[in-house]
């Protein structure tokens, strides 16, 4: 059995190439107006919380305190999640 048999399926890429004729390509990133606006400043603020405020809060809780385990588990996790969500939000633009 070879590809010239009429009884089997033969893939023809030209039959499925309908998107190339329409010209619906996304704009090139260099042509889009991108500037450091308020989304960037929100991301900078979350970075400050993640890298300055959360470690300082962990450092201020003494090891013998009741909330020490909370400080070691939750205080690094919350800013990391917030930073991940904010980074995706700040870089995704319509």
The answer to whether residue 18 is domain-embedded is no
Vertex 92, ends 89 and 93: CA angle to 5°?
120
The answer to whether residue 3 is domain-embedded is no
The answer to whether residue 28 is domain-embedded is no
Phi then psi for residue 43, to 5 deg, are -65, -40
The answer to whether residue 19 is domain-embedded is no
The answer to whether residue 2 is domain-embedded is no
| Residue listed under structure tokens 């970075």 | 47
The answer to whether residue 62 is domain-embedded is yes
Residue 68 belongs to what domain range?
33-91
For the full predicted model, state whether its pTM sits above 0.75. Answer: no
The answer to whether residue 26 is domain-embedded is no
Q: What is the pLDDT of residues 39-84, one digit of tens each?
A: 889 999 999 989 998 888 888 877 887 878 877 888 889 899 999 9
- How many independent structural domains does the chain possess? 1
At 19, list the tokens. Answer: 């998107």
């Amino acid at each position: 059995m070879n590809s010239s048999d009429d009884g089997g399926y033969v893939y023809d890429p030209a039959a499925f190439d309908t998107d190339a004729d329409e010209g619906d390509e996304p704009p090139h990133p260099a042509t889009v107006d991108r500037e450091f606006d308020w989304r960037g400043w929100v991301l900078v603020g979350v970075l400050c919380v993640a890298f300055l405020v959360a470690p300082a809060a962990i450092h201020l809780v003494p090891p013998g305190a009741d909330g020490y385990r909370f400080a070691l588990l939750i205080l690094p996790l919350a800013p990391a999640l917030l930073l991940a969500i904010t980074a995706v939000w700040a870089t995704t633009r319509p």
